Structure 1
Amino acid sequence: MITVRGLRVVLAGRVVLDGVDLDLPDDGVLAVMGPNGCGKTTLGRVLLGLVAPDGGTVVGTPTRRAAVFQDDRLCEHLDAVANVRLVLPRGVPTADVVDALHLLGLPDDALTRPVRRLSGGQRRRVAIARAVLADADLVVLDEPFTGIDAASRPDVVDRVAHACVGRAVLLVTHDRDEAVRMGAEVVDLVPVVPRV
């Protein structure tokens, strides 16, 4: 269980999170929702160890973590398979990577092209595959389904939910239907009101 108590984060002189309490089970999905600027992404970055809190405590964060960020953060010159293999231990068969990419809807002709030549939705599928295949106990998904076409989005959400079973997942989303489909407990964050 990841336990967050009284979390406070100040970025560039602005209080982004203040007094946030939540529990993220080791084998469940917690979705954080709320308006832009309320600190959803910052919360994910704290759990990933990318932002240090200015107050409060975060206990139980595992050392093995993976993420889908709002931007894909792929190695542009590598193909889809090579991008996913970056996070995998040696010895994982290429066929397993290809199967995972196929399950997320990436066609054969996109597997071996540099990712800079893929569409936005294809790039997103690569970023998702990389996160869910990583040997991680915590997966942070920050608006992971942005760029996935509406027709295939439910299937991709289902595949991600299945791939994340048994791990702690923080889902940052504006889409309550995605959260429900992932089987998430939903927490609504509200923007911090500046003190006068």
Structure 2
Amino acid sequence: MMLAGGAVLLLALGLVALMLVRPSSSAGPDEGAAVPSDSSVDVGFARDMSIHHQQAVEMSFIVRDRTSDVAVRRLAYDIINTQANQRGMMLGWLELWGRPKSSSAPPMKWMGHTFEPRGDGSLMPGMATDTELGALRAAKGKDAEVMYLKLMTVHHRAGAEMAQAAANAAGTDAIRALAAGMVRGQESEIALMADMLKERGAKP
């Protein structure tokens, strides 16, 4: 039931985001600009960050049901809403640009990185492995809170680095603005999570 409810929420958020970015007769993202190429920073970032965000949302749904702590549940709820909405926007732009939502190219290629995935479900820097997600599902209470905060801190650090690269190098105003906002938001949450870990006697 939890997974079904989460899927419905994500679908609804995605549809809202698609409606927000769908061009009308008078406006659209970077209207009049050339459509980004399949190998562009814009398209690569939208694809990779959509995957990165998807896992952050998944982890937040998991911890939401593993603790009754108000602060952690509020943070999880904020991440679910923010990152599901941003993911919907990025997938919407890929649709508008006529670009596939997945690619056979290695992750992070648009950043000029040579990256070797950790494996076990961890596709990009900062992403948790399937084993780590399984441990989070098995934990509860304070143990789940600390594990979530540590995993999400690592996730956010890598996500902020990826977003900064896009904010610096993307060719569209839409991606540059979204990525810059992600950097600010995730850095703020990293600081918040450091305080929350300290309150629980743990370190990032």
Normalized against structure 2, the TM-score is what?
0.28
Greater strand share, structure number: 1
Q: Relative CO higher for 1 or 2, CA cutoff 8 Å, sep ≥ 6?
A: 1
Normalized against structure 1, the TM-score is what?
0.28
Greater helix share, structure number: 2
